[in-house]
């Protein structure tokens, strides 16, 4: 059994610091680095990429709607062409910092509202997939494991897709994530977050917020770096997975088709 543990990182901006990236890098296998449109700036991007590569953590782009004020968590009305161009722009920006370190970008995962909209709206999912494929056909597209639309969009674009689940988020019965504005949408207890992941890896299922069971397969599990207990979750999860003989392995090393 194996799973990738990914974390959203590089979400500081100027003098404003967010997350505990350096400490989290001890426990994750992939880093999704903000590209400047919801968080991050050129210096933060450069520093985060170097930190991740120094820890042998795979680096991916984490593009979003152009929404610094709302941290990329607000839906924006954009055409498919606009979304494609904005995603391509952000991938290119982050890839420059990775290339400057003599490394290669491995994956792309949309951020926040853009990710959630893509899970439900095919034109948005297709625009993201097209942007990734235009930049580099070998990049892995990270998609919500419970979204057939995202999976189909990525595969039709000729991309490898990595199905993602979440350690620190609650699920609705239909497989969508519970809205962050609602109570109990976030899982902050490291034990509960870890139990959710272990159950997923071993049984291929997650319990939804209403008590129903969601069957899903995942290649990667996300911990949000800006979460209040992100470091505690990452540490407890890493220790528990090792004890359960579950290997943590970056996406490009999993040998998937």
Which CATH number does the domain housing residue 25 bear?
A: 3.20.20.370
- Among 40, 6, 38, 9, CA closest to 22: 9
Query: Would you call 199 exposed, middle or buried from its count of C-beta atoms within 10 A (0-12, 13-18, 19+)?
Result: middle
Whole-model pTM? 0.94
Give pLDDT tens digits for 109-140. Answer: 999 999 999 999 999 999 999 999 999 999 99
- Number of domains composing the chain: 1
Indicate the helix (H) or strand (E) that contains 44: helix 42-54
Quick one: what percent of the chain has pLDDT higher than 90?
Answer: 93
> How far from chain centre, in Å, is Cα 166?
9
- How much is the mean pLDDT over the chain? 96
Residue ranges making up the domain that contains 156: 2-253
- Rounded Cα–Cα distance for residues 237 and 141 (Å): 24
Tokens at 191, concatenated: 């034990």
Give pLDDT tens digits for 85-104. Answer: 999 999 999 999 999 999 99
- Rounded Cα–Cα distance for residues 220 and 165 (Å): 6
Quick one: what percent of the chain has pLDDT higher than 70?
Answer: 99
* Confidence bin at 255 (pLDDT 50/70/90): low
Q: Which residue has 């449109």 as its token pair?
A: 37
pLDDT at 92: 99
Any idea what DSSP says for residue 253?
G
Tokens at 229, concatenated: 């207990």
* Confidence bin at 257 (pLDDT 50/70/90): very low
Query: Would you call 79 exposed, middle or buried from its count of C-beta atoms within 10 A (0-12, 13-18, 19+)?
Result: exposed
Give pLDDT tens digits for 4-63. Answer: 999 999 999 999 999 899 999 999 999 999 999 999 999 999 999 999 999 999 999 999
């Amino acid at each position: 059994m194996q799973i990738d543990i990914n974390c959203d990182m590089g979400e500081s901006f100027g003098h404003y610091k967010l997350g505990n990236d350096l400490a989290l890098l001890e426990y994750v296998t992939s880093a999704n680095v903000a590209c400047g449109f919801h968080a991050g700036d050129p210096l933060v991007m450069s520093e985060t990429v170097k930190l991740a590569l120094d820890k042998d953590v795979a680096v991916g782009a984490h593009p979003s709607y152009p929404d610094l004020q709302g941290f990329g968590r607000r839906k924006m009305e954009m055409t498919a062409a606009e979304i494609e161009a904005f995603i391509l722009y952000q991938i290119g920006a982050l890839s420059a910092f990775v290339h400057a370190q003599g490394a290669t970008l491995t994956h792309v995962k949309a951020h926040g509202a853009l990710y959630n909209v893509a899970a439900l709206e095919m034109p948005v999912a297709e625009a993201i997939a097209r942007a990734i494929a235009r930049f580099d056909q070998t990049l892995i597209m990270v998609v919500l494991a419970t979204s057939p639309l995202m999976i189909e969009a990525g595969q039709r674009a000729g991309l490898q897709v990595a199905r993602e689940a979440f350690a620190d988020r609650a699920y609705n019965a239909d497989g969508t994530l519970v809205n962050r504005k609602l109570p109990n949408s976030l899982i902050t207890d490291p034990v509960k977050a870890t139990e959710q992941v272990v159950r997923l890896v071993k049984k291929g299922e997650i319990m939804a917020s209403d008590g129903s069971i969601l069957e899903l397969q995942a290649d990667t599990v996300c911990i949000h770096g800006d979460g209040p207990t992100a470091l505690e979750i990452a540490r407890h999860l890493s220790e528990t997975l090792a004890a359960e003989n579950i290997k943590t392995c970056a996406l490009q090393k999993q040998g998937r088709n």
